[in-house]
Structure 1
């Protein structure tokens, strides 16, 4: 995890300056998420990156704790929040398994483009389940590289491996959409909604309730 933190710290400024590739798809996903949020919700976002999603959803909830294990990303988050005058977000440099999260009982845990970057994705969903209050919601959007066609998947594996050897890519799991959904249900969630998108890399979007 520390090696990947170094990678994300190194590219934080470039990442922050990169435009969202599919703006319409991103905004549509935000709207899907807003439909499940309540003004009283306390939300935890894991792997918040430079804070774009947390900042956009902050007006819809009571409070967001947005975390990332890359401190340089969190520094950018704090600057953006101050510039936008958004005060109901705490940005923390933290790993999902940090003990400081224990006993918080969040209403919602979010992980956008994050769980496939964990060394153990199923453990990430189990941890998210533990951090939610009974009936709380998981919102996850996960690139599913394993769901690409065989030859494209083989090519992507080669490209990612070369980039990793050059220090230009983090650890990434080639999970399928089915594997994501199985990991979520095995962690103790009931899936309420799924919206899977195509494109170069299929993405699994789901909302699930803690059973």
Structure 2
């Protein structure tokens, strides 16, 4: 695993030891960022189910100002901390060991909003519908925020979700598909 482009291009990323995480391959990461960026003029991102932090660090390398990394697993948090230290990014990120839904609620309480969200939960264990509803209902998305959902190709995510515009689904292999949404603030108070 490495950073594909930007400020830290080519530098290696430490992977989470064991088999509890499923890192996004360099090939998928390159295709994904080419499609959504490839570079950013600032902004804030939330990397839920962050694993090694590879997607968030790639976003920082390509111009995002700040990333919040969230994972429940202790080894993942340690790996993110190590990667952040290696790249001297501690002033551009926050790292939380927390359940994704609690993290969304905490972001709301802190008044945080994001321009980009990476959702890469363990396959089959977390509902994307519930995650997208929580992000919307807790008002943590800026208008036009991109939400990138990694999932198995056999799982079809809904195209019609309140508050979101379906952008597209790309299948990269027999094991990975990425569905992208854009948040459209409908000026409703959900919470």
- Common topology (TM > 0.5): yes
Distance 1:131 1:13, change over 3 A: farther
Q: Is the 8 A contact 1:45 1:110 kept in 2?
A: yes
Aligned residues between the structures: 165
Please say if 1:46 is aligned against 2:48. yes
Q: CA deviation at 1:118?
A: 4.0
- Per the normalisation by structure 1, the TM-score is 0.65
- Per the normalisation by structure 2, the TM-score is 0.71
Please say if 1:124 is aligned against 2:131. yes
Q: Is the 8 A contact 1:64 1:89 kept in 2?
A: yes
Residue matched to 2:12: none
Q: Is the 8 A contact 2:115 2:146 kept in 1?
A: yes
| Gapped regions of structure 2 (runs ≥ 5) | 1-14, 186-191
Residue matched to 2:27: 24
Where do 1:160-199 residues align within 5 Å? 175-176=155-156, 180-182=157-159, 185-191=160-166, 193-199=167-173
Normalized per residue, which structure has more helix?
1
2:158 is paired with a residue of what secondary structure? helix
Cα distance in structure 2, aligned partners of 1:115 and 1:140 = 15
| RMSD value, Cα | 2.9
| Gapped regions of structure 1 (runs ≥ 5) | 1-10, 147-174
Q: CA deviation at 1:94?
A: 1.4
Cα distance in structure 1, aligned partners of 2:171 and 2:50 = 21
Deviations 1:49-83 (A, max 9, x none): 11111111113111111111112201110011101
For residue 147 of structure 2, the aligned residue among 133, 139, 146 is: 139
Q: CA deviation at 1:112?
A: 4.1
